[in-house]
Amino acid sequence: MALFFIVALPAFAQQDIHFDREPLIIQTAAGKRLHFTVEIAATDDQRAYGLMYRKAMAEDAGMIFDFGVSRRVTMWMENTVLPLDMLFADDRGVITHIKEDATPYSRDIIDSMGGVRYVVEVNAGTARKLNIRPGDRIISATTTKKTK
């Protein structure tokens, strides 16, 4: 059984998973509107794959993970080449916690520290450079869509 997983992992690494894109704005408490274009990870497969194996990402790019409901989320950086900042946001899009400079390839658990619905991943250093803080709000078609 273990041999199967060792053989299957490279196949998963080469899998072609499609992500739609959308504009995303971070509205800061200071009134700034920061513009990004993010890929949307809304399915289990998309959330599992995320930004793994990416070697570069534009400064104004990122990925939004939509978990569908507010819950405690744990993530890690295994197979992720890029250092990232992770913005954890509640079901209203309000950032509740930020993990800055997550270490590439690390299996260390990164915890949302409470219930969140969304996680936005951007290049490491973005939160500090743009002064993004808890209390700022993420606005996109994903965060403003009506849920049933």
Mean pLDDT of the chain: 90
- pLDDT tens for each residue of 76-123: 999 999 999 999 999 999 999 999 999 999 999 999 999 999 999 999
Is residue 101 situated within a structural domain? yes
SS in 3 state form for 38-87?
Answer: EEEECCHHHHHHCCCCCCCCCCCEEEEEEEEEEEEEEECCCCCCCCEEEE
Domain range holding 86? 20-144
pLDDT at residue 11 is higher than 60: no
Predicted pLDDT at 8: 43
Is residue 6 situated within a structural domain? no
Structural domain count, the chain: 1
Beta bridge partners of 95: 89
Is residue 94 situated within a structural domain? yes
Q: What percentage of the chain has pLDDT greater than the value 90?
A: 85
